[in-house]
A and B are shown apart, each in its own frame.
Chain A
Amino acid sequence: MKKDLDKMIDKALKTEFEFSMSTDFALKVVRNMETIAAVSDRRFNWLIGSIFSLTFIVGLITMMILSEQKSLLMIKSYLSWIIIIPLTVVIIQYLDKKLVKQKLHA
């Protein structure tokens, strides 16, 4: 009888116990994961944007202080650089995303 009990306990231990989970649990997790990643990307973009803007403003103020005119009129003499530098950064970022990151994930 005790041997039977051992077998019964063994069998019971190997029997699945009841639990309730939604049928689309895996899909829900993946969707949540995508939402978290999107929020995180958005935050990162905001952070990068803020750093660029801040650097630009600080640079502009510094240039204004150091210029002879001591006013925003000095922008005129640096106008080409003010366009070229941010444009170069944007192009490099775009190429990095298209040519490097996409290939890494492929």
Chain B
Amino acid sequence: MTDRELVKKVIAGEKLASVALIQKHQRLVVHIVGRLIDHKEELEEVCQDIFIKVLDKLSTFNFDSKLSTWIATIAFRHSANHLKKLKRAVKVEDLENVNYQIGVDDKGYEKEDFASFIHSLIAQMPEHYSVILTLYHLDGFSYPEIVEVTGLPEGTVKNYLFRARKKLKEICVPLLGKEIHLD
């Protein structure tokens, strides 16, 4: 079913279509909220609020952009507002000022844990960097789509992406051949 057909059915009040729409975009919303909100117990509640907002405003969506981009924009703004309400504004500190916590010994990488290790590093990055990395690599968003979601200029998006990847590499190079202990 195309997004257009799905939206039409949701607006017509079909409950199953609403469930299908949520299931289709649940991962994307969790990716964004998960990168902005550390507290696991808040994650589901914030995701619920986002989808309620999406379903409520769906009739105003006019397909100027992809449905996923529109939903991601709502998720990003809602999460940022949620942090603002709790006086935990989005971290805008520089990538270089973060003191990355890494657990290492001399035995060598366990390759199956490498992805978890990379994700633990991303989680420590300032939120804009981690959201951009996730949207680009995990959700396959293009630069213009990330611009629409985050409201940052395209140059900044490209720069953040480049610097975040470079940082990951910088941290990993000295650790090659060592074992990473998550937690």
By a beta-carbon cutoff of 8 Å, the part of chain A in contact with chain B is 1-2, 5-6, 8-22, 25-30, 32-33, 36, 105-106
Q: Which of B23-51 contact A (CB under 8 A)?
A: 23, 26-27, 30-31, 34, 40, 43-44, 47-48, 51
Stretch at the interface among B68-76, B87-95, B152-160, B165-173: B165-173
CA distance A15 to B84 in the complex (A): 30
> B162: CB under 8 A from chain A?
no
Point out the residues of chain B lying under 8 angstroms from A105, CB to CB: 12-13
Q: How far is the CA of A71 from the CA of B181 in the complex (A)?
A: 88
B168 touches A9 (CB 8 A): yes
B112-123 Cβ-contact flags toward A at 8 Å (1 or 0):
001111110000
B147, CB-defined interface residue at 8 Å = no
A18: chain B residues at CB < 8 Å are: 116, 119
Complex: how many Å from CA A27 to CA B20? 10
In the complex, chain B residues whose CB is within 8 Å of the CB of A26 = 18-20, 22-23, 26, 51
Contact A12/B115 with A33-B52, A105-B12 known, Cβ cut-off 8 Å: yes
**Which residue from A19, A32, A33, A36 sits with its C-beta under 8 Å from B30?**
A19
Give the residues from 114 to 140 in chain B that come closer than 8 angstroms, CB to CB, to chain A. 114-119, 133, 137-138
Chain B residues, CB < 8 A from A12: 114-115, 117-119
Number of cross-chain contacts by CB at 8 Å = 87
Chain A residues near B119 (CB-CB < 8 A): 12, 15, 17-18
Inter-chain contact A9/B19, CB cutoff 8 Å: no
Of the candidates B22, B30, B168, the one whose C-beta lies within 8 Å of that of A30 is: B22
A-B contact list, 21 entries, CB within 8 Å: A5-B172, A5-B176, A6-B169, A8-B172, A12-B117, A13-B118, A13-B138, A14-B138, A15-B118, A16-B27, A18-B116, A18-B119, A21-B30, A21-B43, A21-B47, A27-B19, A29-B48, A29-B55, A30-B15, A30-B19, A105-B12
Which residues from chain A contact B117 at a C-beta distance below 8 Å?
A: 12
* CB proximity of A106 to chain B, nearest CB, Å: 8
Nearest A residue (CB) for B48: A29
B40: chain A residues at CB < 8 Å are 20
Rounded to whole angstroms, the CA-CA distance of A19 and B33 in the bound complex is 11
Give A2 to B173 CA distance when docked, in angstroms: 8
Question: Which of A15, A20, A26, A28 has the most C-beta atoms of chain B within 10 angstroms of its own C-beta?
Answer: A26
- By a CB distance below 8 angstroms, the chain B residues around A19 are 30, 34, 43
Q: Within the assembled complex, what's the spacing in Å between the Cα atoms of A9 and B118?
A: 7
